[in-house]
Structures are given as C-alpha cells and as structure tokens.
Structure 1
Amino acid sequence: MEACTRGIWAGLSFQEKEQLLRGMIALCPSGMEYIGVRMFERFGQRTETGVFLHAGREFVFVPGDRVTLGWNRWQDGMNEETSADLFETVSEYGVEDVRAFLAGQMSPVRDAAIAPMLVECGTQSLGWIEVTEEEACARHEPDFAAELERFKHSELKSFEQYQAFRLDRQGEDVRIQLYNEGVTLEALLEEQAEAGFGLLTEDEWEYLYGGGCRTLFPWGDSFDYTMKLKHFGSLERLTVMVEESAETDPSLVVEDKRPYHLELPNFFGLQFAGDPYKVELTVDPSGEVLPKGGDGGGMICGGMGPLVGYLPAAAVYYRDGSADELDWEDLIDSMYYRRVIRLTDLAL
C-alpha cells in the first residue's frame, strides 16, 4: 500500500507503475479494463497515472496521501486586482473583514488520510436520465410529443419543463432527458455498492479537486481573470494579430472558441463541472450529504460577479452552509455524482 501513496508513487519507474496498475484490475468490478499510463499536469501539479475503462466510462488511478484540508487564511495572499474586486463586491453587503467572510464559506481546517482510489473521470447526473425519443414518448404524458415537435421547429437551443423533461439541441438532433423523480440516496448507495463502487466523501472530493493545496483556488490565492467561464464567457477581450500586406491589425477580434477553463481535466485527469449551478454529491460515513463544487447558482443569481459568483465552483474548500436547508428533491435537480473504488486492500 505504501507504494500507492503520492510521494512514493511519483518516484516509481514506468515499469513499476504498470505492474501495480495491472494488479488493480483484480480489485475492480467485472468489466474494468486497463488502458495505459498517461501524464496529467495543471496548476503546478502533475501525476503520471493509469487510465481504466468500464462500460464506456473512464477512470484514473489517484494515489493516496496525508493532507491538510479546509481553509481559514491566505497562503500567498490575493493580488491587487483580486483584492479590490472582492472588497468592492462584498462591501455592498456590509462585509468589512474579507478574510473572515471567506473563511465562513469554507470547510474547517483538518488533517485527512486519503486512500488510493480509482476515480471516475467525469460525473453523471443524478436527477436526469438521458433517453431516446421513443422511450420519452412511451414514459411521458401524451402532450410530451407535441412539446417535442414545437421545440424541433423552434429556434430555441434548450427547453426545460420543471422536474419533467429537458430538451437540448445538438446539431440536427435533440438530446432528451427525463427527471429521475424516484431516485433516493439509499437506493443509489445500495446500487453502487452492489456494483462494486462507492461515492466520494467531502475529504476525498477536496483532495481530488485541489490535491492538498493550501491556497484558495487550485492555482493560487488570486482569481484568474483570463479564464473563459460558463454564464460569463471570456473574462478578457481576446485579440488576434493577422498579417495583411506585411502589416498587422491589432483590432481584429475573433470568437473565443476556447473550452471553459474550469471544465478541463486537472492534474489527476479528473473533470469537474466548473458551474456554480451544478453540485457534486459527497456522502460522509454518517450518511450526511454535502454538495460540493457549487451552490445552485445562489451567488450568481444574487448579482455577484465572476469572482464571488464562482467561489462555489472554483474555491477548493467551499462548503454551502445553506445546503442542509434543502430537501433531497430540491438537490437532485442540479446534483451529479462520480464513482470510486478504494484500493485499501491492494496487495503489493
């Protein structure tokens, strides 16, 4: 097991890593395939690790570690731009002590031992199930077919009937999702356990997102105003220089076709929603549900700008203090989950 802790894992040779990774298959549910070794690097951290595949879904090996989690003070401190932006935004709400305000939004500082795991790279929606048009028409009320036809002949990109169905245009096709009203936490945990998977705890999620960093964001204490964010788009005006008759035109602006930065794979090869309207499910051993990575869009809807509005999605240790006031039915509409396999019984 010691070889699968992060410090020792990083020093193993390629052949030693391959041997361990192939041996992990014996601890996995039937159908797990080993794909190979891949390097992931971002925010100053890097991991050479194994990629696996199960029923079309990618998993990566994440080495374990002993880390400090939570946040209550700066490591490096904000730069001038972030400091001015943050103070201006929160002062409108009577906040004078910015550090105390931020600490009140974060999980408490604590030490944690994280076991080595295979972790699903992406997330799956808990409250919505993707279906075919035939399945949707068969399972839904008669007026669904009429709503679908109206959508097809409209110019709308998406349409949602609350806790009923969602329609999203994808080229010439329409993606259909139905609300999964019958799902319960108990049923989800039981289903995944029977299949050989577990769900993340808050400690594991914070480690997977920040890698044990002691800064506010996984990249540092200051906000990155060069990012492209969902709901805000590009935070900077991008220009391109083109050569025309040996001269350049600095005023030529092109569409920003970059992906949303917070959705890109991190240093473990994991993708996060990067959207404060979405939350990821974590469950503590006591059965307490702690949504991570969002606040249901509360801060954005409240008129906050990118910095504060995206704290729930970008800050490593953000914890939504009002989540326990919501019913399960209210949470699952925007909730996603990822599966894990804890390798605590790995024989070396």
Structure 2
Amino acid sequence: MDFFEALQWNNWKKLPLEVKHQLIQQILMYFVSPLKEITDLHLVEYAYAGIKCTTFQLMIDDEAFVFVPGTSEAILGWDLGVQGLTLSSWGQSWQKANTHAESLAQTYGFQNEQDWSDYVNESTSPLRKAEIAPMLVQCYALPVGSTFVGILNTVTAEFRGHVERYNLFADDLQGTFHRPTSFEESLRYALPQGIVKENHYYAALHPLTDDYMLFDHQAVSQTMLQTRLAAEGFSLLSEDQWEYCCGAGTRRLFRWGNEKSCEDGMTLPAFELLEPNMFGCMYGLADGWELTDGLSLKMDKWAACGHSLLDALPYATYYRSRQILQPDKLLSPQDYRYRKAILIEKDRI
C-alpha cells in the first residue's frame, strides 16, 4: 500500500496510530507551504452512529484545520425526497409566513408527501458518485475576504487574540456600539449581528453568546479570492468535496441524522449545528452562503418562517442554493463565507 492509498478512508481507519503519525508528518512536509506556521498538531477522535474517525487537527497560521481521508467512491447528492424524515418535520402547519415561503408554497403546493419530495429533490444536488482526494480542510468557514483576529467580549470589553491587529480598528469598532441610556430603551436594545467597515474590519456576533468574532477585511470576489488562496497553497472546496466533508461520508440528508427531531417537530437542533461532525468539520448557525470553487453555493440566506423542513433544509448536506454565484462580483462578509483546503494529490508534490 503506497502513501496515497493509505490516505483513503477504508485504509486510514485500519492503520496503527504510529503509521498515522508518520503519514501526517509527510503530508505537512510535502503539501503545506514552508512559509506557513504549523502549531498544535494533535490526534482527535470523532464518532457518529457507531462509526469512529481518528484523525489529526492542527493550526496553520493560527487557523484550525483537520485531516479528512479521501475515498474513491463517495455517493453524493439526493433523490429520496422526504424519505426517512419524520412526518412532523414537513407535515406541520405554518407558524408564520414570509414572502419567499409563500412563493414556494404557491409553486409546489405542499399538500402531500410528493409535493414536499419534489421540493427537496429540486433543492439538492443530483445523485452521483465522486472520487474525493484526501485533504487538510479548515474546520470552520470564515467570512469572505477576512482573516481571523480574535474575540471581543462585549460585557467585559476583554479581547483575546492578535492585540496589535485589533488595536488598528478597536476605537472605530467601539464607537459603533450605542448602549441604551434608559430602562425602556434597554428593553428594546439588541447588539447588531454584524458590523462591517469595508477593507478594514468585520465583526460577527456569536449565535449563542454576546461575544464578537473579529476579522480583518478586504473586499474580494470569488475570482480574486481563488487567486490569493492559490498563491498561499490553498484552494476552495469543489461541491463534491464540500458535500463529502459536510456529511462526513454518511448517507443522510441532514448530517445530524434524518431520524432526529425535537419535541416541537423541528429537524434543526441548534446545539448540534455548533458541534464538529465525524470528520471534525463545523458548519455552524449562520445566515448566508458558503462558496465552492464553482458557481454552486451551499447553505443559504434565508428568513426563518417557522416551518421545520423549510428552515432546516439550507443546512442539509446536499442542499444547493437556487442563487447562482457571479464570480467577479465583490462579496459581502455578512452574506458569504469560505473554507480553505489543501488537497493531497500526486500532481501537487
């Protein structure tokens, strides 16, 4: 078994830990730019539905990456409609309406299981088999055009991260916070979800805390981003690679399992969206699109309408947004995210 064969999922999962350590060292030596700083390399184990994946996580220039084994025959896409989903996830009544949801209801009818299956199948990529290269992939997606700086606690004003970079825009950022001056105003006050100053900084409110994730920002299009990533030895994931990493090789519409549902019928368990999947990749709560290396966009910018399946579907492993990317259009960090990858292929040595 040669080096590349050993990095295939069917072989990788059987290898002794000593051999895995040797392989990851070779990956870092031959496929990661020597200009990149590699720190905190350590073994991790993830599990789902009784299947375990023992792999490596590391920091590349202070950004978290994980090694994802490859496969010669990944089954991707979806053509099973609502098969496997609980009736409560799609058969429930509407809680509230919005223009987009009402438009979908007029188009598809949503009167029976076949209507819902048609909508799901047309909202997901086609069924196919693909060969996926092993890769080092970023654990979480970043706002497009941004580089992570640190975390700001809005209660204590404590900052954790790259202090020198934060100081370049700290005063300007603090000036955007307008605290309530009365009790009545405090009842209506809410921190802004995102604060962007183009070509300067971007602050995104964490979905479960009052902390802001802070980033440097420079406006880019997909074309510009790909050029910059290539110069650093990275690439964007293809749609095939994205779906494989998101679903972690499993055949479920939702990566947390089609059979799971909350007591109110929801198929969108927020606590699991913030947890790494079996490959160690995270696809958190975010309102917007994630880029691939083509025109297909994953996830979506969607106003919740209170219907379980409609609100959950953009988080499905095989979901494909109906919006088509314009490669040369400058992209907002509030709406678009990207995930770096280093592909482990023979022609890249």
Give the TM-score category using the shorter length. 0.7 to 0.9
- CA-to-aligned-CA distance 1:64-94 (integer Å, 9 cap, x gap): 0121110011696233433533899999542
1:296 maps to 301
Q: Which residue of 1 aligns with 2:159?
A: none
Provide the C-alpha distance between the structure 1 equivalents of 2:213 and 2:139, rounded to a whole number of angstroms. Answer: 23
AA partner of residue 60 (structure 1): V
Task: Give the superposition deviation at 1:345.
Answer: 2.6
Shift of 1:42: 2.7
Unaligned residue ranges in structure 1 (runs of 5+)? 236-258
Task: Look at both structures and tell me which one has the larger radius of gyration over its CA atoms.
Answer: 1
Correspondence 1:32-111 to 2 at 5 A: 32-33=38-39, 35-65=41-71, 66-73=73-80, 77-85=84-92, 93=106, 94-96=109-111, 97-111=115-129
Per the alignment, residue 144 of structure 2 pairs with 126
Pair 1:135 & 2:150 matched: no
Q: Which runs of 5+ in 2 are unaligned?
A: 96-100, 150-164
User: Secondary structure of the equivalent of 1:190?
Assistant: helix
1:260 CA drift (Å): 2.6
d(CA) in 1 for partners of 2:280, 2:206: 28
RMSD: 3.9
Q: Does 1:28 align with 2:29?
A: no
Q: For 1:12-55, what per-residue CA distance to the aligned partner results, in whole angstroms no more than 9, with x for missing partners?
A: 11111111111111121222246122111134442101122212
Of the three residues 262, 274, 289, the one matched with 2:273 is: 262
Compute the displacement of 1:343 (Å): 0.7
Q: How does 1:1-348 map to 2 (within 5 A)?
A: 1-26=4-29, 27-30=31-34, 31-33=37-39, 35-65=41-71, 66-73=73-80, 77-85=84-92, 93=106, 94-96=109-111, 97-126=115-144, 134-136=167-169, 147-148=176-177, 150-151=178-179, 155=186, 156-159=189-192, 164=197, 166=203, 175=212, 180=217, 182-225=219-262, 260-275=271-286, 277-284=287-294, 288=295, 290-292=296-298, 294-298=299-303, 300=304, 303-313=305-315, 315-324=316-325, 328-329=329-330, 332-345=333-346
Aligned partner of 1:256 in structure 2 is none
Query: When the two structures are aligned, how many residues end up with a matched partner?
Result: 305
Question: Is the deviation greater in 214-223 or in 104-113?
Answer: 214-223
| Alignment CA distance shift 1:181-1:118 (3 Å) | closer
Separation in 1 of the partners of 2:211 and 2:248? Answer: 38
The letter for the 2-side match of 1:321 is R
User: TM-score, structure 2 length as denominator?
Assistant: 0.73
Q: What SS does the corresponding residue of 1:159 show, helix, strand or coil?
A: coil
CA distance in structure 2 between the aligned counterparts of 1:37 and 1:318, rounded to whole angstroms: 31
Give % identity: 25
Letter in 2 for 1:297: W
What is the DSSP-based 3-state SS (H/G/I as helix, E as strand, rest coil) of the residue aligned with 1:85? coil
